[in-house]
Amino acid sequence: MATGCTVAGVQASRAVATTHTTTLAANTFHSSDTCSHRLIGIRYIGMSADQPRFQPPDASVAPRYTGIRTFARLPQFPVPHDGVDAAVIGVPFDTATSFRPGARFGPEAIRSASALLRPYNPALDVDVFATLATVDGGDIAITPGNALRTTEQIDAALQPVLRAGIVPLVLGGDHSIVLGELRAQKAVHGPVALVLLDAHADTWDQYYGERYFHGTPFRRAVEEGLVDPSRSLLAGMRGPLYGPGDLDEPLELGFEVITGSELAALSPGEYGERVRSRIGSDDLIRREAGPVFLSFDIDVLDPAWAPGTGTPEVAGLEPRKALAFLRALAGIPFTGFDVVEVSPPYDSAGQVTALHGAAVAYELLTLLAVSRR
């Protein structure tokens, strides 16, 4: 182990890897910063000097079910930290739900289901983890029963991450948590364009007198000036409402809405064009459009594929189409993402909701990798 402290960098990890990979598996990491960081393993045997420092371990060395569960078997590492491009961060908060609770266990279940992910995404021809140095940043401390305080905790935790140039991918948690994410985005990047995929617009004013709730975050975000509704597109809204004016409310706030049935009739290319045109540039690779944030509520999927969620609505998207919609957004320089409302206690025996949550999160990292390559 002492060798790892005296020989800096990748070569050191290669040398030690030969010795230790048979006994140490998965999501361990090597730090070349100082000798106070103990070298506890190696994550990627085939890595070369130009590979990102933070990657999942090589699955040909130890099976993917070994190791402590982090997202995609990534090294767990506190953020912000130098050399990190993207961080997966859990927010296990669910006491702002109106129906089924349980999303506090969403990050854990998505991490567990994500063990099967592989680095290369053929759909967009990108090796996600060879392009982005990615870590699992662990969970943000939250306050059960206090959505407003939790919002402040999320904001405080994410601001330094964003200021370090790291793109966060947050795993919820009920959808109230997005308000904290958007406060941090606004503080660092300014008001963001919101790309929302959700069965609900989440623009109601209050529930039971509570203004900070999982059905209200995007109204609060407009009130607080965190999002630019004129550059935002909400898609997938469906199911019964409280009244005929419910879907007028997001429009009155300035959002554009594509209902669930309209969305199902769009091709992925058409959806991609709607998003690009709404957020303000046809050539987003030039980054002229300003910051863009994507929020994916798992209930945009049909409950056949995502039963484990807070407020399921029938007749939703099939996963194949949802993934195609996301891939149609390749090239947009997103400044943050989340996947919310995965509630494992209501999931099926095969953890199908968590599996789809992990797959969606992987596609979001893929979008980031495409925009960075």
Q: What residues line the site for Mn ion (CB under 5 A)?
A: 175, 198-200, 202, 297, 299
Three-state SS across 241-273? CCCCCCCHHHHHCCCEEEEHHHHHHCCHHHHHH
Please state, in angstroms and rounded to a whole number, the distance separating the CA atoms of residues 19 and 268.
Answer: 48
Tell which residue, 194, 207, 89, has the closest CA to residue 139: 89
Please state, in angstroms and rounded to a whole number, the distance separating the CA atoms of residues 201 and 113.
Answer: 27
Q: How far is the CB of 119 from Mn ion (least distance, A)?
A: 30
- The smaller minimum CB distance to Mn ion, of residues 136 and 202, is found at 202
- The smaller minimum CB distance to Mn ion, of residues 12 and 147, is found at 147
Report phi then psi at 81, rounded to 5.
Answer: -155, 145
- The smaller minimum CB distance to Mn ion, of residues 59 and 199, is found at 199
- The smaller minimum CB distance to Mn ion, of residues 88 and 199, is found at 199
**Within its chain, how far is the Cα of 143 from the centroid?**
21
Q: How far is the CB of 93 from Mn ion (least distance, A)?
A: 14
Q: How far is the CB of 147 from Mn ion (least distance, A)?
A: 14
Q: How far is the CB of 215 from Mn ion (least distance, A)?
A: 7
Please state, in angstroms and rounded to a whole number, the distance separating the CA atoms of residues 24 and 43.
Answer: 10
Q: Which two tokens stand for residue 357?
A: 């949550």
Return the sign of the alpha-carbon dihedral for residues 89, 372, 182, 197.
Answer: negative
- The smaller minimum CB distance to Mn ion, of residues 121 and 295, is found at 295
Q: How far is the CB of 353 from Mn ion (least distance, A)?
A: 13
